[in-house]
């Protein structure tokens, strides 16, 4: 089909801005360097962090119940 009704499969995909992604739609997102990760913490550090978060959440509950 060659006419005005023909589908446009080779249309340019220009938007006037730059896409920062450099991988295809079928490939996974590339890994990025994490400045902090819970997986790199020791078990004692994770437990301490969990206790701190739990204490903060209980403080919120306690303040809400007052």
| Cβ-contact 46, 38 below 8 angstroms | yes
| Cβ-contact 18, 7 below 8 angstroms | no
The pLDDT of residue 46: 94
d(CA 55, CA 49): 10
d(CA 21, CA 41): 30
Entry pTM: 0.47
Q: Over its length of 66 residues, how does the chain's per-residue pLDDT go in tens digits?
A: 555 555 555 555 555 666 665 667 778 787 788 888 888 889 999 999 999 999 999 999 999 998
């Amino acid at each position: 089909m060659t006419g005005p009704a023909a589908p446009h499969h080779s249309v340019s995909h220009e938007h006037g801005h730059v896409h920062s992604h450099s991988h295809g739609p079928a490939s996974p997102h590339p890994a990025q360097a994490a400045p902090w990760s819970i997986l790199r913490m020791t078990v004692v550090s994770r437990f301490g962090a969990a206790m701190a978060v739990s204490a903060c959440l209980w403080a919120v509950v306690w303040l809400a119940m007052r």
